[in-house]
Amino acid sequence: MEKNGKDSGVLAMAACYQGFDPAAYLQYNYTPPRADFGRTDSIVPWKLACLHRAFTEGDVSGELLVDIGSGPTLYQVLSGCEVFKKVLLTDFLEVNRQELRRWLQDEGGCNMDWTPYLQHVCKLEGRRASEWTEKAAKLRQVITDVLPVDVHRPLPMASGALPSAGADCLVSCFCLESVSPDLATFTKALGHIGRLLRPGGHLLLIGALGESYYFGGPGVKIPVVPLNEEQVCASLKESGFTLIRLEVYTLPQDMRVGVDDVTGVFFVKAKKD
């Protein structure tokens, strides 16, 4: 243990993130081929389909949805914004929080055009793609804040940021494994975010399988704890969650574009005990 009770591995991860470049990260992961809406085997449409299904099965409901480690992205709440009255986005880095605020305030200067994402999710919802403007308005209405988070703290958000009962649902995508130096820290972080959720509330967790690094910008190589499905299931159990469903996507060869060494993606729907 070192400064502020954090171990050296966690401090080293925080140092890596100082070079994170939202524009580059969006370019690497959220443009074709990884976000090719004409292909059913593209990674982003797969993630959006998992989230759409999870949010429309009828068991996920309540007032407040919180996304943990949003980064500079919005795709992960495009389905949830239709179910929850209030959505909070969170990230560790101010550059990412700023990127999200620029989109929310609709004043231009964004590094990403989310229009094809909004159109795609409209279609998943049985609406016309042209209704994307209404979905964008809905998103801007229900996302009420973009707040700091640190999953390595026993209480990752500032006290008073959430109602005392906790959120009704958490989403978190590619965060815990890419900020943890090892499996034990990943499991601990999962326990920490679980404390933000009310008992019986749902966790929708998306993450990388078999990944040991990714680039957060040119030359910004960030280590990742390589996970397999069994480890994800064991960590969920240890952290007080009951697994409802685990789905796995295997990256086709042409999605391996040199910005990481990820081999697959998991999607988990779980419930807090």
Among 45, 48, 50, 69, binds ligand SAM (CB under 6 A): 69
Contact 222, 213 (CB under 8 A): yes
One-letter amino acid for residue 245 of the chain: R
Give yes or no for residue 157 binding ligand SAM (CB under 6 A). Answer: no
Q: Is 187 in the site for ligand SAM (CB under 6 A)?
A: no
Region binding ligand SAM by CB under 6 A among candidate stretches 66-74, 131-139, 228-236, 248-256: 66-74
Q: Distance (Å, rounded) from C-alpha 268 to C-alpha 232?
A: 9
| 107 secondary structure, DSSP code | -
The amino acid occupying position 141 is Q
**Residue 178 per-residue DSSP state:** G
Three-class secondary structure of residue 54 per DSSP? helix
Q: Is 19 annotated as a binding residue?
A: no
Place of tokens 């809406």: 37
The label of the residue with tokens 């996970």 reads: 227
Inter-residue contact 265 to 246 (CB < 8 Å): no
Task: Provide the minimum distance between the beta carbon of 10 and ligand SAM in the complex, in angstroms, as a whole number.
Answer: 7
17 binds ligand SAM (CB under 6 A): yes
Q: Does 175 bind ligand SAM (CB under 6 A)?
A: yes
Give just the sign of the alpha carbon dihedral 189, 218, 76, 40.
negative
Report if residue 28 touches ligand SAM, rule: CB under 6 A: no
Which tokens hold the place of 204?
Answer: 């929708």
CB of 192 to ligand SAM, least distance (A): 9
Separation of alpha carbons 271 and 273, rounded Å: 6
| Sole window of 57-65, 92-100, 117-125, 128-136 interacting with ligand SAM (rule: CB under 6 A) | 92-100
The correct pick among 84, 92, 241, 266 for binding ligand SAM (CB under 6 A) is 92
180: contact with ligand SAM by CB under 6 A:
no
The interface with ligand SAM within residues 114-153 (CB under 6 A) comprises: 149-152
Instruction: Kindly list the residues in this chain that would bind ligand SAM in the complex (CB under 6 A).
Output: 17, 20, 69-71, 73, 76, 91-93, 96, 149-152, 173-175, 178-179
Annotated binding site for S-adenosyl-L-methionine: 25, 30, 69-70, 75, 91, 96
